[in-house]
Amino acid sequence: MIKLCCVVAACLLAAGTTPKAPGAHPTLDPHPRVEKVLGADISFLPQLEAEGMHFYDHGVQKDAIRLLKDNGFNYIRLRIFVHPAADSGYSPKGYCGLHDTKKMALRIKAAHLKFLLDFHYSDTWADPGKQYKPHAWRGLPVTAVADSVGAYTRAVLEALKAQGTLPDMVQVGNEINHGLLWPEGGSAHLDTLAEYLRAGIAAVREVAPKAKVMLHIACGGQNAESRYFLDNMIRRGVVFDVIGESYYPQWHGSLDDLRNNLTDLETRYHQDVIVVEYTQRKKEVNDIEFALNGKHELGTFIWEPLNTWEQFIDRNGRTVDSLIDIYPTVKKTYHIP
């Protein structure tokens, strides 16, 4: 998945005062009423299983979702594309479309785990470097694209609701600090971007009123860029519950940058702050996140740990014990249910 660092526009806000340093004691539970998320994005799983991959937890064969649960995870994230089998789409076989999402949602709920659904609003990857419209929406005027965002979001959630697997949290867009549904929804057109987001959020509130709504940006260590995006969306009437940040050190700075940004955001805004994508520095990222003064949620989602980047499952499906063993310790240290 291609990630790009946020570009600092000339009109960005200044970084402000120095954030306070977090100081939660690692053996105590400073947030007894805050829901704690230890999550993983495993959207590749149906493809891996179709290719014949099996999974082994310290030598014992297990279903991948059971393996994650047994190692402390309590939340699963899935991405969804509009028409992944379309020309230039994500997958000719339709992986990460509604059909796979429904099947995976049933497995997640059967395992008594929570479920975050990540709408890309594209037929393929959407991130700061590309936010391509679905083929079926190209050429539509802005109002019709906004209507399509709402109708599509509503249809997906209605399908999940019909089988009893509504998500517990919904991302309206993926890494959208440079906008979504380009070009009209790009960051140079903030009013249109906000219109698209409001349409998607309205559909979530209608069909899944208990679900938390997340706005996801890829600015883990960039405070000014984060604030610029959030302030502009809030100013335009975009109402959401959770700020999601991606953190990859090669694009988003040092661990101190991450700590300072997250600490400022959770102080400055009434929304909670979650690291919704990361792969490296597993222990450190979780320590930084769970030291925040969360209001309702605290947590992290590791990105595709079964097969991508610093994965904790090797190519033979076996756990890399030095990496996966971090998570039971995080669970115990921060009293994650």
Tell me which residues are annotated as active site.
175, 277
User: Residue 127 in contact with residue 225, Cβ under 8 Å?
Assistant: no
Amino acid at 29: D
* CB contact burial 157-188 (16+ within 10 A = b; e otherwise): bebbeeeebbbbbbbbbbbbbbbbbbebbebe
Question: Reduced to 3 states, what is the DSSP secondary structure of residue 75?
Answer: strand
CA–CA separation, 90 and 163 (whole Å): 25
Four-point Cα dihedral 267, 271, 277, 281, nearest 10: 20
Nearest by Cα to 115 from 173, 161, 166, 63: 166
Nearest by Cα to 27 from 284, 298, 280, 290: 290
User: Residue 246 in contact with residue 216, Cβ under 8 Å?
Assistant: yes
Question: Reduced to 3 states, what is the DSSP secondary structure of residue 63?
Answer: coil
Nearest by Cα to 46 from 101, 111, 90, 89: 101
Cα 31 to Cα 261, 316, 334, distances in angstroms: 20, 39, 9
Strand-pair category, 114-119 with 212-217:
unpaired
CA–CA separation, 48 and 63 (whole Å): 12
CA–CA separation, 74 and 20 (whole Å): 29
Beta strands of the chain (E only): which ranges? 35-41, 55-57, 60-62, 75-80, 114-119, 169-172, 212-217, 242-246, 272-277, 297-303
